[in-house]
Amino acid sequence: MHPAIFVSASVLLGILFALQEWMSVRLWSYHIGIRLLLEAWGLQYFLWGVLCWLLWRWLGPRIQQAKAFCIITRVLPLSIVISIAEEMIWVSCFPHLPLNRPHLTYWHRLAFQLDAELIDNMVIFWCAFALFRGVGYYQKFREKEDAAAQLSVQLAHAQIATLRMQLNPHFLFNTLNSISSLMRIDVAAADTMLEQLGSLLRITLERGQVQFIRLNDEMEFVEMYLAMQERRFAGRVRQQLSVHPELHDALVPAMILQPLIENAYTHGLSKLDSDGLLVIEATRRDKCLMLSILNNGAGLNSNPPKGSDGQGVGLANIRSRLRLHYGDQHTFDIREVTQDQVEVTITLPLQFSASPTEKLTRFGE
Amino acid sequence: MMIHAIVADDEVLARQKLRQLLRDEPEIEIVGEGASASETIDLVRATRPELLFLDIRMPGMDGFDIIGELSVGSDFAMPRIIFTTAYDCYALRAFEIHAVDYLLKPFTSERLHSAVQRAREQISATKQNLGRSNGRSSQDASSYTTRIVFKSRGRILFLPVSDIRWIGAEENYVRICTEADKHLLRETMSHLEEKLDPQMFLRVHRSAIVNLQYLKEVRTEPSGEFTVVLVNGQKVAMSRSYHARISEWLARG
């Protein structure tokens, strides 16, 4: 906030107090010049305005986050020090106050003023403190609201991106082309592929707006996607999936793996004629869930720099979704394990779904 | 055995596909095609088929209404139902009215074949039961489940438990292994064990149940551990405490 806001708001308050005192002393038929009152009150609150701004400037975040212990051991002494300091400056500016006592020394005057004003000063300090905390809470609240709004926009983008994945030249047309050519030589295989494409679209639509899903649901989707890729790549790629049984219920952002697997195919595995390897693993590291996708396609150097094609957009989308969901509690790395082997690793805080799954499973007859 | 079937779907291409695929099923004879609910009802009443391929969303009434209409005041046996639909939300209802299977469009010929296979088994079992005069009812097999409905990889499966080879525990889930597939279900081993007929399934380990039909042998490993070997060569670890039970079963067999 701008210092002018602090100082002007504070001086305005001082002027109001001065007017109030002027009216009340008039009521008692006692005369003090309005000018002196305005000067005294005005200066006092001007000083407070400056002090508050300095506090805000230097200690604002620390005051907002201070815990009870810190408030007692640090902020309380600080409030006394600042209250006294303010009074010292004020007293030195008004050597002729208090009125009618011309011969007091500076220290006597200070003691006199402190006697009357220390508590008031403390109240001003703690009001400012409360105000800072309130502003902090409000800002945090707004930030959270903004993050939530941003997340839903991001998710909408992710969904559009997934749908685009199924409807873009990359995937849908290639799949349709595969079906079209299979149709002439192997009707059953073409049929299977159509069924798989149908299931994939059905699941995508069903998921709708959900932000987090269980890992086993995400893996089910991945398995379906891999089954289609397997048919397209006809035995050129060996797929290995492993999920630690403890992690089936762990929550992951919906559609987090598929774009990465698609990248593994388009930028790596598609460049191999045989012996492709794709390893997808979900493991537990203490309180973290680690997802890794490794392929032995082409290595990082063989690919054009990010952003020059679709890859950058997909990765940027994943990065920003992870950041919005987890802040700095996650990691996202792409690295070359050995030459030609690229591994993408994501670690997330391990969270489990609280609500039971709505399950279709029934036993009968 | 010849099975008379009716195909009910409002879309001509959908009926055509079924007709085409059913040509590969020699036991199925299509005796009629219905393009609407009323047409289908009339056809069923006139021809009394044993099997009905039924779309759910049709103009007029839906597939369940057709079944309701047919079962009211009819003096003939209801046909077996195989649903063919693009919607997955009716699966439980279909399961509850004892439909044979639930095919999500688009489906493959293999999927259709397995549905027809099951219909055939059910129809022939009913015929045998009718042949036996006042014989034991089919409910006789007691309260154990004979099939499970669940969703797996975008398909709805009405899986007969006899297709299950073995079941492995994975924390809060169980992995159901059939000949060709594996399905992950959120279920507990103990709950499943209760539901399954002990004459058919045996718990061999805290985390494994095997179908005795597919059991080949019990091996003692050099380490002194026991292993159950299934007919397809799959090995399942076995705990010592369950060993006595299976030896007893093997001795009987």
Determine, for residues B171 and A248 on separate chains, whether the beta-carbon distance falls below 8 Å: yes
> Using CA atoms, how far apart are residues A47 and A89, in angstroms rounded to an integer?
8
Is the pLDDT at A257 greater than 50? The verdict is: yes
**CB burial class (10 A; 0-12, 13-18, 19+) of residue A255?**
buried
Q: How far is CA B219 from the centre of its chain?
A: 32
Superfamily of domain A214-352: Histidine kinase-like ATPase, C-terminal domain (3.30.565.10)
Query: In angstroms, what separates the C-alpha of A214 from chain B's closest C-alpha?
Result: 11
Look at B22 and A173; give whichever has higher pLDDT.
Answer: B22
Per-residue confidence at A308, pLDDT binned at 50, 70, 90?
A: very low
Q: Is residue A160 predicted with pLDDT exceeding 80?
A: no
Determine the distance from the C-alpha atom of residue A53 to the mean position of all C-alpha atoms in its chain, rounded to a whole number. 28
- pTM, full prediction: 0.70
- Across all residues in chain A, what is the average pLDDT? 82
Cβ contacts (< 8 Å) between B172 and chain A: which residues? 248-249
Give me the pLDDT at residue B135, please: 42
Crossing angle of the two packed helices A187-207 and B109-131, in degrees rounded to 10: 90
How many angstroms separate the CA atoms of B235 and B162, rounded? Answer: 19
Domains of chain B: 3-131 (3.40.50.2300), 147-252 (2.40.50.1020)
Choose the mutation target among B20, B81, B108 for the interface with A, i.e. most A CBs under 10 Å. B108
Give the tokens for residue A229.
Answer: 């890729």
Q: Which of B88, B107, B149 sits opposite A195 (nearest CB)?
A: B107
Percent residues over pLDDT 90 in chain A: 21
Contact A224 B110 (CB under 8 A): no
Per DSSP, the three-state class of B201 is strand
3-state secondary structure A50-86: HHHHHHHHHHHHHHHHCCHHHHHHHHHHHHHHHHHHH
When CB atoms are compared, the residue of B92, B105, B108 closest to A362 is B92
B218: left (phi over 0), alpha (psi -120 to 50) or beta: beta
pLDDT, tens digit (0-9, with 9 covering 90-100), for A208-234: 667 788 999 999 989 998 998 888 888
Greater model confidence, B251 or A215 = A215
Indicate whether B8 pLDDT > 90. Answer: yes
Average pLDDT value for residue range B101-122:
93
Rounded alpha-carbon distances, angstroms, from residue B162 to A148, B157, B215, B230: 49, 14, 13, 14
Residue whose structure tokens are 């994501």: A346
| Residue-level pLDDT at A350 | 95
- Residues A179 and B108: beta-carbon distance below 8 Å: no
Report yes or no: A18 and A42 within 8 Å, Cβ to Cβ.
yes
Grade residue A168 by pLDDT with cuts at 50, 70 and 90.
very low
For chain A, domain boundaries? 3-142, 214-352
Convert the pLDDT of each residue in A169-191 to its tens digit: 566 677 788 888 888 888 888 88
Would you list which residues of chain A are within 8 Å, Cβ to Cβ, of chain B? 188, 191-192, 194-196, 198-200, 202-203, 206, 216, 220, 223-224, 227, 245-246, 248-249, 357, 359-365
Residue to test with chain A: of B104, B110, B184, most A Cβ within 10 A: B184
Q: What is the pLDDT of residue A249?
A: 93
Residue found under tokens 């709505």: A358
* DSSP states along A17-40: HHHHHHHHHHHTT----HHHHHHH
Best of B153, B156, B159 to disrupt the A interface (most A CBs within 10 Å) is B153
Helix, strand, coil shares of chain A, percent, nearest 5, are 65, 15, 20
B155·A191 Cβ contact <8 A? no
Q: How far apart are CA A50 and CA A11, in angstroms?
A: 10
Q: What is the β-pairing status of strands B166-170 and B208-211?
A: antiparallel
Residue range B9-26: mean pLDDT, rounded = 94
Q: Do A191 and B109 touch (CB under 8 A)?
A: yes
As a whole-number percent, the residues of chain B with pLDDT over 70 amount to 94
Query: pLDDT for A68-119, tens place per residue?
Result: 888 888 888 888 888 888 888 887 787 776 766 667 777 877 787 787 788 8
How confident is the model at residue A34, as a pLDDT? 78
The residues, any chain, with a CB within 8 Å of residue A356's CB and separated by 6 or more, are: none
Each residue's pLDDT tens digit, B129-146: 776 544 444 444 568 999
Residue A42 contacts residue A15 (beta carbons within 8 Å): yes
Section B23-30 average pLDDT? 95
The answer to whether the Cβ–Cβ distance between A364 and B154 falls below 8 Å is no
pLDDT for B95 = 94
**Interface TM-score (ipTM) > 0.85:** no
Which residues of chain A lie closer than 8 angstroms to B107, CB-CB? Answer: 195
Query: Using a CB-CB distance cutoff of 8 angstroms, which residues of chain B are in contact with residue A350?
Result: none
Average pLDDT over residues A145-166: 72
Report CB contact under 8 Å: B106, A360.
no
In order of A161, A173, A283, A350, A351, the CA distances from A286 in angstroms are: 33, 43, 10, 9, 12
* A327 torsion bin: left (phi>0), alpha (psi -120 to 50), beta (else): left
Task: Indicate the pLDDT class of residue A307, thresholds 50, 70 and 90.
Answer: very low
